[in-house]
A and B are shown apart, each in its own frame.
Chain A
Amino acid sequence: MCLAVPARIVELRETTATISVAGALRDVDVSLIDEPRLGDYVLVHAGFAIHKWEQSEVDELEEIRGVSA
Chain B
Amino acid sequence: MNRILLAHGGGGSLTQELVQQMFVPAFKMRSLDDAAVLGVDRVRLAFTTDSYVVKPYVFPGGDIGRLAVCGTVNDLAVQGAQPLWMSLSFILEEGLPLADLETIVASIKTAATEAGVEIVTGDTKVVERGKCEGLYINTAGIGRVAGRRSVSHAGARAGDVVLLNGPLAEHGVAVMSRREGIVFQTSVVSDCAPVWPLVKAILDSNAEIHTLRDPTRGGVAGALNDIAVASGVGIRLEEKALPIGREVRGACDLLGLDPLTIANEGKLLVICRGSDADRVLATMKRQPLGRRSVVIGEVIEKPKGMVLLHTTIGGERIVDMPTGEDLPRIC
Indicate if A touches B (C-beta under 8 A).
yes
Please, which residues of chain A bring their CB within 8 A of the CB of B314? 68-69
Q: Tell me, in angstroms, the Cα distance from A24 to B256 when the chains sit together.
A: 13
- A28: shortest Cβ distance to chain B, in Å? 10
- B185: which of A7, A26, A69 is its contact (CB, 8 Å)? A26
The residue of chain A having its C-beta at the shortest distance from the C-beta of B246 within the complex is A22
Chain A contact patch, size range: 10 to 19
Please, which residues of chain B bring their CB within 8 A of the CB of A25? 184-186
Asked if B132 CB lies within 8 Å of chain A CBs, one says no
The residue of chain A having its C-beta at the shortest distance from the C-beta of B312 within the complex is A68
Interface residues of B in 293-316 (CB under 8 A from A): 312-314
- Of the listed stretches B140-148, B247-255, B284-292, name the one at the interface; the rest are far from the partner chain: B247-255
Interface residues of A in 24-69 (CB under 8 A from B): 24-27, 44-46, 67-69
Given known pairs A3-B331, A5-B254, A22-B246, the reply for A69 and B313 (CB within 8 Å) is yes
Q: Tell me, in angstroms, the Cα distance from A69 to B186 when the chains sit together.
A: 31
Max chain A Cβ within 10 angstroms of own Cβ: one of B246, B253, B256, B329 = B253
- A41: shortest Cβ distance to chain B, in Å? 13
Q: Tell me, in angstroms, the Cα distance from A45 to B246 when the chains sit together.
A: 20
- B184: shortest Cβ distance to chain A, in Å? 4
Asked if B131 CB lies within 8 Å of chain A CBs, one says no
Given known pairs A1-B331, A3-B330, A46-B330, the reply for A24 and B185 (CB within 8 Å) is yes
Please, which residues of chain B bring their CB within 8 A of the CB of A21? 250-251, 253-254
- Residue numbers of A with Cβ under 8 A of B are 1-3, 5, 7, 20-27, 44-46, 67-69
A–B complex contacts, Cβ < 8 Å, 17 sampled:
A2-B330, A5-B254, A20-B250, A21-B251, A22-B250, A23-B187, A23-B250, A24-B184, A24-B185, A24-B250, A25-B184, A26-B184, A27-B183, A44-B254, A67-B313, A68-B313, A69-B312
